[in-house]
Structure 1
Amino acid sequence: MILRALLLLLLLALPARAERVVAGISADNIGITAAFDGSSILIFGAVKRDAPEPEGPLGVIVTLEGPPQKVTVRRKTREMGIWVNSDKMVIDSVPSFYAVASSAPLDRILSPETDATERISVPVAVEAYAGPLGRSDGRPFAEALLRLREGSGAYSVLERSVTLAADTLFRADFDLPANLIEGDYTARMYLLREGKVIDQTWAPIKVRRIGLERFTYVLSREQPLAYGLLSLGLAIFAGWAAAAAFRLIRNS
């Protein structure tokens, strides 16, 4: 009830338009601690209409995109019975995380032309970030990156996972992995008819390390020498404590 009331208030505050999307998220800040083992986030919304609903099906797509990062993709070849790295390619910028959820199969609600313009699907979004790969054999490296990240869950397509009620209210649930990267994430919500985007909105999500996890991360990046000495000291202390405990048990 509270969620529905909030959506109604937001709808009343919007200017007139045929169909417009208004949306919210369950949390706009996610903290990563030493015990962080993943999380989930709910993205919800509603459609405001100032005229009778147009004919034809309504489509909803929700994307969740992580901060860009530089990656190196290596090609392995078998030489004398051993797999070795034979070639590599550095891609300067690709999303660290990218998930696409939709109310129906993408090929039914998203046209290739709209996808090329809005850069919604996983392959198109990644290619838009990577830009020209700069070499004639770059395509296999990009395809390998997609396979690897889809296999690890960093990239995903969740067709039919957006719940759309009475062509008015929608929700999408995303599971976030334990190896989530710190940075600024972006949730985007699209309304589509006849394969075209008729409205869209977005919301930021901040993912930050907190507590001891934050302290050790900053220390390792900004003062690597101090971090190394601290790690060495902790290792020595742990070894001494274990030896002392063993002697105490043996003598008791």
Structure 2
Amino acid sequence: MIARAALVLALTFAAAAAKAERLVVSLSNERVAVTSNFVGENLVLFGTVQAGPGKELADSYDLVVTVAGPRETLRTRRKQRVLGIFVNVDSREFVRVPSYLAIIGNRPFGQIAGPEILRRQQVGMDNFILTQRVGADFADTVSDDPFRKAFVRLKQQHNLYIQSAAAVTFLTPSVFRGSVPVPANAPTGLYGVDVKLFAKGTVVAQTTTSFTVTKAGVEQYVAEAAQDNSLLYGLATMSMALAVGWLASVAFRRD
């Protein structure tokens, strides 16, 4: 009886999945090469909504794209004036948070779904989980936490945390395009792209893709040399510094 019930349940879920909407997406470039003259790039995300057998597409959809770069652990410090000078009085560590984060959609997130769904789906900068070390515990704090606000503000100043409600456009009711900005200071590594499709405030389809930011040309050679032959790289850079200093002293010395 239990096995039969499990089989019926599995068939029910399979039938529901077969009728659900499906997302098909593609990026204009899956590899961003960082060279000496790299000033940033806008990747284009193309996609379409497809209906499963026996189901028609909805009249309208909403789309939210979340792009997260390589994870890193950072510490923010709060300064305070003590005896006339500014000193660090408190700090907070952010553990394995995205080095780059872009959350884009086709209209304001508050119009796409209710607060509870947005929070559960981590839609919007205030709802995205940024894990902090608080004493011996690891947790995310409320969106108006001063350390969290300062961390996000600093990232936004460097164009590494981006939120836009107008970066996705539906060309037809089922065909869309989105613009993903990659700034000149984007960290190298693998970037995950999570695409969520909403209909009447509910997530009806989701898919993922990715792209890579990597150094190329001279920058790649220097980065690999510094990582693979750190001692020789250090000696070479020190020798170059000494040589440049000596040449400068010869060129500008007074006889």
TM-score using structure 2 length: 0.80
Partners of 1:160 and 1:45 in 2: CA distance: 16
Q: Secondary structure at the match of 1:122?
A: coil
Taking the aligned partners of 1:165 and 1:78, their CA distance within structure 2 comes to 54
What residue is the counterpart of 1:83 in the other structure?
86
Q: 2:68 aligns with which of 65, 69, 75?
A: 65
- Decide whether the 8 Å contact of 1:95 with 1:126 is kept in 2: no
**Separation (CA, whole Å) in 1 of partners of 2:138 and 2:197:** 37
The structural deviation recorded for 1:22 is: 0.7
Task: Find the aligned partners of 1:21 and 1:144 in 2 and give their Cα distance.
Answer: 36
Q: How far apart are the structure 2 equivalents of 1:211 and 1:203?
A: 26
CA distance in 1, matches of 2:211, 2:186: 13
Task: Indicate yes or no: 2:224 matched with 1:236.
Answer: no
Q: C-alpha separation between the residues in 2 aligned to 1:92 and 1:221?
A: 24
Structure 1 counterpart SS, 2:38:
coil
1:53 matched residue in structure 2: 57
104-113 vs 233-242, which deviates more? 233-242
CA displacement at 1:16 relative to structure 2: 5.1
Partners of 2:43 and 2:139 lie apart in 1 by 40
AA partner of residue 224 (structure 1)? S
Question: Deviating runs (4+, > 6 A) in structure 1?
Answer: 135-138
CA contact (8 A) 2:70 2:99 kept: yes
Question: Hey, what does 1:20 align to over in structure 2?
Answer: 22
Q: Secondary structure at the match of 1:230?
A: helix
| Alignment counterpart, residue 149 of structure 1, candidates 152, 155, 180 | 155
In structure 2, the gaps of 5 or more residues are: 1-16
CA deviation after TM superposition for structure 1 residue 148, in Å: 1.6
Per-residue CA deviation, residues 118-162 of structure 1 (Å, 9 max, x unaligned), is 3232233233xx166438996432222122212322111111221
Q: Distance in 2 between matches of 1:199 and 1:136?
A: 28
Compare the two structures and name the one with the higher helix fraction: 1
In structure 2, what is the equivalent of residue 42 of structure 1?
44
Aligned twin of 2:218: 212
Q: CA offsets per residue over residues 53-72 of structure 1, 9 Å max, x none?
A: 335x4111112111110101
Aligned counterparts, 1:192-203, within 5 A: 192-203=198-209
CA contact (8 A) 2:129 2:140 kept: no
Q: Which range moves more in the overlay, 138-147 or 103-112? A: 138-147
Distance 1:218 1:86 in 2: 38
1:230–1:126 distance in 2 versus 1, CA, 3 Å:
farther
Contact 1:65 1:97 in 2 (8 A): yes
Could you report, residue by residue, the CA deviation over 1:82-126 in whole angstroms, capped at 9, with x for unpaired residues? 322222222221111111111111011133332333323223323
Counterpart for residue 31 of structure 1: 33
Following the alignment from structure 2 to structure 1, what is the Cα–Cα distance between the partners of residues 139 and 46? Answer: 43
Cα RMSD, aligned residues only = 2.7
Q: For residue 33 of structure 2, what is the amino acid of its counterpart?
A: G
Tell me the distance in 1 between the aligned counterparts of 2:163 and 2:201. Answer: 18
Instruction: Give the percent of matched residue pairs that are identical in Structure 1 and Structure 2.
Output: 30
Question: In the superposition, relative to structure 1, how do residues 80 and 230 fare at CA in structure 2: closer, same or farther (>3 Å)?
Answer: same
Deviations 1:137-192 (A, max 9, x none): 96432222122212322111111221112211111112211111011101121110
Deviation of 1:40 after TM superposition, in Å, equals: 1.6
Q: Which moved more, 1:237-246 or 1:90-99?
A: 237-246
What CA distance in whole angstroms lies between the structure 2 residues aligned with 1:174 and 1:145? 22
Query: Larger deviation: 101-110 or 76-85?
Result: 76-85
* Counterpart secondary structure, 1:124: coil
The answer to whether the aligner puts 1:118 opposite 2:121 as a matched pair is yes
SS at match of 1:232: helix
Give the whole-Å Cα distance in 1 for the aligned partners of 2:75 and 2:233: 26
